[in-house]
Chain A
Amino acid sequence: MAESTLGPPHAASDSASRSRRSRVLDAYLRNRLAVVGSIVLVVLVGGALLAPWISPHDPLTMNLVNAYAPPGSEGHLLGTDNFGRDILSRLMHGARISLFIGLVVVSIAASIGTVLGLLAGYLGGWVDDLIMRAVEIFYAFPFLVLAIAVIAVFGPSIFNVMWVLGLVSWPLYARLVRAQVLALRSIEYVEAARASGMGALRVMFRHVLPNTLTPVVVAATFGIPEAILASAALGFLGMGVQPPTPEWGVMISEGKDFIRRAPYLITWPGVAIMLVVLGFNFVGDGLRDALDPRTQRKE
């Protein structure tokens, strides 16, 4: 997705990088959506981090006599669910889970993808062939089917959801990094480093890797909301995080049986997912535009 915006390498002097940094920041701040997205994310992350202290109720405590309290009820701003649990508190704790899943999944995918992409691009030959074949396999495999099948084997749990989603989403990063490496390989300073007898590994990690980071960071920004959506989808299908954990997808799955009686049971978690995904997408767009020299030239 972010493939179209690979910038050229930036191995420049300190002062130049400092001025570039401020230019990037300027460009980012000029994008209003990116700023809005950042604010949304800060609020959500803050709420998630502070959930144990600021959430009004315990997310798991049931109060069966006070089930289905509508939004705005006393003490329950967003209402209570079918077990009388406070929805706001569950959403806040759910944010922790969703964000955590998003971060871990992207870290796994980006690490695997970056390493394999580096190897493929730098070494070429049969290593490249092998890795790119694997990439093709993962691309051609319908991603949700693969995830569901793997969950079927290893059982649904938050841990399995994270590594499965990481496993199925690495090829994007591998492709990005490989393309970047191919572009860099012929660049003089890499050639020079090689000519001076530096080992392949060192060249890769010292000179090539840092230059691939920009597209990876941008891709990761979009990867987090994708992982959150995917884990919610798995939760919705009953193949993700398990109740009573307040994961957002699980909340929607549990709430859908009451869709007529208490539609807000699925409305709030849906809105929460929407906000977090929007936030990351705005930030991602802002980052990409700001980091992309072409966009800057245009302004």
Chain B
Amino acid sequence: MLLYVARRLVSMVPVLLGISFITFALVTFAPGDAIRIMLGSETANVENVERMRRELGLDLPWYQQYVRYMTGVVQGNLGTSIVSRQPVAAQIAQRFPNTLVLTVSSMVVALGIAVPLGVLAAAKHHRVADYGAMTFAMIGVAMPNFWLGLVLLIVFGLELRWLPIRGIGSLDDGLWAYARHLILPAATLGTSLAALLTRLTRNTMLDVLGQDYVRTARAKGLRSGRVLYHHALRNALLPIVTTAGLQFGALLGGAIIVETIFSLPGLGLLSINAIRARDLPVMQGAVLVFAVCFMLVTLLTDLVYAAINPRIRYG
């Protein structure tokens, strides 16, 4: 088991190398650089900006820059932002919790919608409730994130004034005050995932309900609600949880737009601003953290899968 985990962790290295190289290449060969942006300002001090370019080593050939950067990364140094001249690691550490809280609460929303709807749809297979549940779930995915976010913002933030329009509060104001800020962003991001999970719950439940022991239980006269929850849902949870875990990556991606609309200073916003400003170290750092998260969640999901399902053994 430990060996398996270790092997998986080692196999992340080439993937991370690949990702860092792609990121590096994209930003390096993209037209425009951070220094150009500074020079583009009418008032820029050309001499001092050019000196800064040399000091940061941005005048070196790209492969030297890459080696310099990776040497730093190996030593645990993610470098310094070109734009703000502040350490990248500190910026990421500051923003990471925001994205994490957003994705986790979105997952909660998604599962909160998906599991009841999916069970309902399976129980009423091919009946009105089934269609209704599935349609409802799918509307969630069909509404573009950015559109739904804006609409929720206008309706609940501005017209009704029930909820704050910014996705971030302070824990100093108490847990509820903090959570209130998360409702709209988590709803926006969570509904986009709910359709997939509802469909999955429904199909898994249908599979389970078709299996012999459930039929037996039913035949024995157990009430169908009990069968549904005690026997079927329990067995269906495993694939639901694993698939949900695998969707964290999609959530991280969707976080970019939700973070923009709800003013949530997370990794998504950080990376998109870094691309726009051609702030290579920041973008590298953000993307690498994204990737590590994604792979760790995947690994964790696999382990959970193994733990719940005794038939699977990793050697």
The answer to whether any beta carbons of A and B sit under 8 Å apart in the complex is yes
Tell whether A150 is near chain B: CB-to-CB under 8 Å.
yes
Q: B19–A140 contact, CB under 8 A?
A: yes
Could you say which of A15-23, A46-54, A141-149 contacts chain B? A141-149
Q: A140-B294, A142-B290, A153-B30 are contacts. A285–B134 as well, Cβ < 8 Å?
A: yes
Tell whether A63 is near chain B: CB-to-CB under 8 Å.
no
Tell whether A43 is near chain B: CB-to-CB under 8 Å.
no
Q: Which residues 47-66 of B sit at the A interface, judged by CB distance below 8 A?
A: none
Tell whether B315 is near chain A: CB-to-CB under 8 Å.
no
Q: A137-B15, A278-B139 are contacts. A33–B147 as well, Cβ < 8 Å?
A: no
B128 to chain A, nearest CB (A): 9
Q: Closest residue to A229 on the B side, CB-wise? A: B144
Could you say which of A66-74, A119-127, A269-277 contacts chain B? A269-277
Tell whether B210 is near chain A: CB-to-CB under 8 Å.
yes
Q: A266–B15 contact, CB under 8 A?
A: no
Bound Cα distance A155, B31 (Å): 9
Bound Cα distance A237, B138 (Å): 24
Q: Closest residue to B21 on the A side, CB-wise? A: A137
Q: A153-B31, A294-B207 are contacts. A140–B144 as well, Cβ < 8 Å?
A: no
Bound Cα distance A30, B252 (Å): 37
Collect the chain A residues with CB atoms within 8 Å of residue B275's CB: 145, 148-149, 152
Q: B14–A149 contact, CB under 8 A?
A: no
Collect the chain A residues with CB atoms within 8 Å of residue B135's CB: 33, 278
Bound Cα distance A152, B126 (Å): 47
Q: B131–A277 contact, CB under 8 A?
A: no
Tell whether A281 is near chain B: CB-to-CB under 8 Å.
yes
Q: B145–A149 contact, CB under 8 A?
A: no
Tell whether B120 is near chain A: CB-to-CB under 8 Å.
no
Bound Cα distance A233, B283 (Å): 20
Contact among A142, A274, A295, A297 for B287, CB-based, below 8 A? A142
Tell whether A290 is near chain B: CB-to-CB under 8 Å.
no
Tell whether B22 is near chain A: CB-to-CB under 8 Å.
yes
Q: Closest residue to A297 on the B side, CB-wise? A: B210
Tell whether B241 is near chain A: CB-to-CB under 8 Å.
no
Tell whether B312 is near chain A: CB-to-CB under 8 Å.
no
A154 to chain B, nearest CB (A): 9
- Binary B-proximity of A128-167 (CB < 8 A = 1, otherwise 0): 0000011011011111111011101101000000000000
Q: B253–A142 contact, CB under 8 A?
A: yes
Q: A137-B18, A139-B249, A152-B30 are contacts. A285–B146 as well, Cβ < 8 Å?
A: no
Tell whether A4 is near chain B: CB-to-CB under 8 Å.
yes
Say whether chain A's binding surface is mostly helix, strand, loop, or mixed.
helix
- Binary A-proximity of B135-155 (CB < 8 A = 1, otherwise 0): 100110111111100110010
Contact among A149, A155, A249, A297 for B144, CB-based, below 8 A? A249
Collect the chain A residues with CB atoms within 8 Å of residue B181's CB: none
Instruction: State how many residues of chain B have any CB contact under 8 Å with chain A.
Output: 55
Tell whether A12 is near chain B: CB-to-CB under 8 Å.
no
Q: Closest residue to B271 on the A side, CB-wise? A: A145
Bound Cα distance A87, B211 (Å): 52
Q: Which residues 245-278 of B sit at the A interface, judged by CB distance below 8 A?
A: 249-250, 252-254, 256-257, 268, 271-272, 275-276
Q: A281–B141 contact, CB under 8 A?
A: yes
Q: Which residues 95-121 of B sit at the A interface, judged by CB distance below 8 A?
A: none
Tell whether A173 is near chain B: CB-to-CB under 8 Å.
no
Q: B142–A142 contact, CB under 8 A?
A: no
Instruction: State how many residues of chain A have any CB contact under 8 Å with chain B.
Output: 50
Q: A139-B294, A141-B22 are contacts. A266–B147 as well, Cβ < 8 Å?
A: yes
Q: Closest residue to B18 on the A side, CB-wise? A: A137
Could you say which of B67-75, B166-174, B195-203, B224-232 contacts chain A? B195-203
Bound Cα distance A243, B188 (Å): 27
Q: A140-B295, A152-B26 are contacts. A145–B290 as well, Cβ < 8 Å?
A: yes
Collect the chain B residues with CB atoms within 8 Å of residue A249's CB: 144
Bound Cα distance A142, B271 (Å): 10
Q: Closest residue to A274 on the B side, CB-wise? A: B142
Q: Which residues 284-298 of B sit at the A interface, judged by CB distance below 8 A?
A: 286-287, 290-291, 294-295
Tell whether B29 is near chain A: CB-to-CB under 8 Å.
yes
Q: B252–A142 contact, CB under 8 A?
A: yes
Q: B203–A270 contact, CB under 8 A?
A: no
Bound Cα distance A98, B1 (Å): 48
Q: A252–B14 contact, CB under 8 A?
A: no
Tell whether A225 is near chain B: CB-to-CB under 8 Å.
yes
Collect the chain A residues with CB atoms within 8 Å of residue B253's CB: 142-145
Tell whether B300 is near chain A: CB-to-CB under 8 Å.
no
Q: A133–B150 contact, CB under 8 A?
A: no
Collect the chain B residues with CB atoms within 8 Å of residue A297's CB: 210
A-B contacts besides A5-B203, A145-B287, A256-B150, 12 pairs, CB < 8 Å: A133-B14, A133-B18, A136-B295, A142-B291, A145-B253, A145-B286, A149-B26, A153-B31, A237-B257, A274-B143, A281-B195, A285-B199
Chain A to chain B contacts (Cβ below 8 Å), 23 pairs: A1-B196, A4-B203, A5-B203, A33-B131, A137-B22, A141-B19, A142-B253, A142-B268, A142-B271, A142-B291, A142-B294, A145-B287, A148-B256, A148-B272, A153-B29, A233-B144, A233-B145, A233-B257, A252-B146, A259-B150, A259-B154, A277-B142, A278-B138
Task: Give 9 nearest A-B pairs by CB, closest first.
Answer: A277-B142, A140-B291, A270-B147, A153-B30, A274-B142, A137-B18, A142-B253, A278-B142, A149-B26
Residues of B bordering A, CB below 8 Å: 14-15, 18-19, 22-23, 26-27, 29-31, 126, 131, 134-135, 138-139, 141-147, 150-151, 154, 195-196, 199-200, 203, 206-207, 210, 239, 249-250, 252-254, 256-257, 268, 271-272, 275-276, 283, 286-287, 290-291, 294-295
